[in-house]
């Protein structure tokens, strides 16, 4: 069973931190390298994120089939749905795996929650946690399981740091202290700055540099 | 059949298993369902007090979950005792086809298959459980919740009647939980509703657990319409 499992990457973070925009930056980069991606988007209240990604990545740009973006409601309990009881997510992911054996990676976007978010290891093999500078440069220092334990910490919206009084050097210093040797990256998902690094991280640490399953001719 | 008396040890294990499967912490995904309650909340037909919600849950139990799901669970038990996979699959197919609303059908099979998967991770040697899972993998069965719960409960030594109680109690708790998260009531009201429904749960299980397969029914068109309305909501917190 495990040999048939498609690598799964969880992307968590607070509402508005840029999870959807990060996916919109990373998926085209992965697609340009030949990797085919499926997305399960957990929404707290609406299907807006899933519909937006289906439109922007599948319908308009043709980077994936429309049915490879699935929206899932979480009963108002976004972190329960990815950690304590990921049953519905696992069911959707398994259905996607059985229908699309040719995809290389499944992204599971969390429904947006607080700094204690983590993914069940059964649901996600690897975990990216994204925060943004608008919460202030105290954010990494405040810790929380998400920031501490994720495999890659992404700090978004660096372009607005001067306007919200966030000192990126403080965030970097605290990220190093809190996370030790585990990686972090500063990004601006509006213009794509830093998202090449995220893409490389995924190819190296999630896909283990395996070639795409389907080679385009 | 030879009467077998249980030791105190066996009884306590069986009862702990019952607590485990009916605990809202057990990973069934049911916290993501409202069975149409969310659509009612956003309609102009508001529930204004806890008594109304209790009566609504009773309608679900009497007209949907009791005569359909509870009967399916009871029938499944009969075939499980005889290890008759073919008949078990027949019950699965019939109760699946009785679930008219796609969201409800999907939620039921998603919960059922995940509950089976979880129980089979620690109850590895139950042959009928493993064969039923194979039937699901081979698309002969759907893994719909009442049949899956029967298979799991049977594998853990829980008697049929108690499995029926667990299912109706679990449904009641999931409805009250959804109402709480929608802000329809406060937490003490929720427990009062659950307490108030205990006699109904017991009575409905007793009435339906032995119902033959050919006598299974459900008729709650107003609830069907609510569940259809939920499918069409563009913004929602629950999967049903």
Classify residue A186: in a domain, yes or no.
yes
What is the average pLDDT value for chain A, to the nearest integer?
Answer: 92
Segment 170-189 of chain B within 8 Å of chain A by CB: 177-178, 181-182
Q: Do B236 and A88 lie within an 8 Å CB cutoff?
A: no
Q: Do B31 and A80 lie within an 8 Å CB cutoff?
A: yes
Q: What is the mean pLDDT of residues A62-74?
A: 92
Please tell me the distance in Å from A65's CA to the nearest CA on chain B.
21
Shortest CA distance to B97 belongs to which of B68, B136, B59? B68
Q: Report chain A residues whose CB lies below 8 A from the CB of B142.
A: none
Q: Is B101 left (phi over 0), alpha (psi -120 to 50) or beta?
A: beta
The model's pTM: 0.88
Classify residue A213: in a domain, yes or no.
no
Q: What is the mean pLDDT of residues A88-110?
A: 95
Please tell me the distance in Å from B60's CA to the nearest CA on chain A.
19
Closest A-chain CA to B28: A87
Least confident of A43-47, A102-106, A120-124, B207-211: A43-47
- Structural domain containing residue A155: 2-205
CA dist., res. A206 & res. A119, Å (int): 15
B239 interfacial to chain A (CB closer than 8 Å): yes
A137-152 pLDDT, tens per residue? 888 888 888 999 999 9
- The partner residue sitting opposite B111, judged by closest CB among A77, A86, A87, is A87
Write down the pLDDT at residue B5.
67
Q: Do A73 and B111 lie within an 8 Å CB cutoff?
A: no
B33 interfacial to chain A (CB closer than 8 Å): yes
B20 interfacial to chain A (CB closer than 8 Å): no
Q: Do A88 and B114 lie within an 8 Å CB cutoff?
A: yes
Q: Do A73 and B239 lie within an 8 Å CB cutoff?
A: yes
Classify residue A215: in a domain, yes or no.
no
Classify residue A172: in a domain, yes or no.
yes
Q: Do B237 and A75 lie within an 8 Å CB cutoff?
A: yes
Q: Report chain B residues whose CB lies below 8 A from the CB of A4.
A: none
Least confident of A107-121, A183-197, B131-145, B208-222: A107-121
Domains identified in chain A, total number: 1
Domains identified in chain B and CATH numbers: 45-213 (1.10.4190.10)
Write down the pLDDT at residue B126.
95
Contacting B with CB below 8 Å, chain A residues are 44-48, 72-77, 80-81, 84-88, 90-92
Percent of chain A with pLDDT over 90: 79
Q: Do B113 and A91 lie within an 8 Å CB cutoff?
A: yes
Q: Do B236 and A73 lie within an 8 Å CB cutoff?
A: yes
DSSP chain A: -GGGPPPEEEEE--TTSSHHHHHHHHHHHHHHTT--EEEEEEESSBSHHHHHHIIIIIITT-SS-GGGEEEEE-TT-HHIIIII--HHHHHHHHHHHHH-TT-SEEEEE-----TT----TTT-SEEEEEEEGGG-TTTGGG--HHHHH-SEEEEE-GGGHHHHT--HHHHHHHHHHHHTTS-EEE-BTTTTBTHHHHHHHHHHHTSTTPPPSS---
Classify residue A70: in a domain, yes or no.
yes
A42-62 pLDDT, tens per residue? 987 777 888 899 999 999 999
Classify residue A45: in a domain, yes or no.
yes
CA dist., res. B38 & res. B178, Å (int): 8
Q: How many CB atoms lie within 10 A of CB B19?
A: 10
Classify residue A87: in a domain, yes or no.
yes
Residue A3 has pLDDT above 70, yes or no: no
Classify residue A185: in a domain, yes or no.
yes
Read off the CATH number of the domain in which A173 is found. Answer: 3.40.50.300
- The partner residue sitting opposite A76, judged by closest CB among B25, B27, B181, is B181
Residues of chain B under the 70 pLDDT cut: 1-6, 10
CA dist., res. B165 & res. A164, Å (int): 56
Q: Do B31 and A47 lie within an 8 Å CB cutoff?
A: no
- The partner residue sitting opposite A47, judged by closest CB among B27, B178, B234, is B234
């Amino acid at each position: 069973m495990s040999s048939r499992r498609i690598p799964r990457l969880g992307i968590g973070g607070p509402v508005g931190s840029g999870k959807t925009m990060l996916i919109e930056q990373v998926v085209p980069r992965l697609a340009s390298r030949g990797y085919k991606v499926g997305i399960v988007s957990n929404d707290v209240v609406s299907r807006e994120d899933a519909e937006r990604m289906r439109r922007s990545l599948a319908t308009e740009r043709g980077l994936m089939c429309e049915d490879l973006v699935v929206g899932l409601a979480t009963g108002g309990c976004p972190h329960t749905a990815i950690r304590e009881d990921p049953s519905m997510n696992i069911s959707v992911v398994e259905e996607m795996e059985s229908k699309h054996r040719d995809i290389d990676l499944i992204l599971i976007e969390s429904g947006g929650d607080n700094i204690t978010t983590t993914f069940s290891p059964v649901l996600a093999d690897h975990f990216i946690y994204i925060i943004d500078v608008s919460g202030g440069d105290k954010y990494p220092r405040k810790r929380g399981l998400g920031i501490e334990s994720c495999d890659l910490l992404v700090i978004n919206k660096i372009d607005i740091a001067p306007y919200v009084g966030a000192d990126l050097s403080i965030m970097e210093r605290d990220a190093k202290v809190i996370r030790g040797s585990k990686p972090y990256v500063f990004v601006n998902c509006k213009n794509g700055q830093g998202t090449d690094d995220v893409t490389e991280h995924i190819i190296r640490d999630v896909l283990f540099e395996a070639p795409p399953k389907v080679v385009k001719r | 059949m030879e009467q077998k008396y249980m030791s105190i040890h066996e009884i306590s294990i069986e009862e702990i298993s019952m607590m485990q499967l009916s605990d809202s912490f057990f990973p069934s995904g049911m916290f993501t369902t409202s069975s149409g309650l969310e659509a009612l909340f956003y309609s102009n037909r508001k529930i204004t007090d806890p008594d109304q919600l209790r009566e609504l849950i009773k309608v679900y139990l009497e007209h949907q979950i009791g005569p359909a799901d509870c009967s399916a669970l009871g029938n499944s038990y009969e075939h499980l005792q005889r290890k008759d996979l073919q008949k078990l699959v027949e019950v699965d197919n019939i109760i699946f086809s009785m679930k008219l609303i796609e969201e409800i059908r999907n939620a039921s099979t998603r919960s059922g298959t995940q509950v089976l998967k979880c129980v089979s991770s620690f109850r590895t040697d139950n042959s009928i459980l493993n064969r039923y899972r194979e039937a699901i993998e081979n698309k002969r069965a759907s893994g719909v919740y009442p049949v899956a719960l029967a298979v799991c409960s049977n594998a853990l030594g829980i008697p049929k009647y108690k499995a029926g109680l667990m299912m109706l109690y679990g449904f009641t708790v999931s409805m009250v939980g959804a109402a709480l998260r929608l802000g329809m009531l406060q937490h003490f009201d929720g427990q009062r509703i659950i307490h108030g429904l205990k006699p109904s749960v017991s009575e409905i299980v007793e009435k339906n657990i032995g119902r033959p397969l050919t006598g299974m029914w459900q008729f709650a068109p107003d609830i069907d319409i609510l569940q259809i309305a939920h499918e069409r909501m563009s913004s929602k917190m629950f999967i049903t």
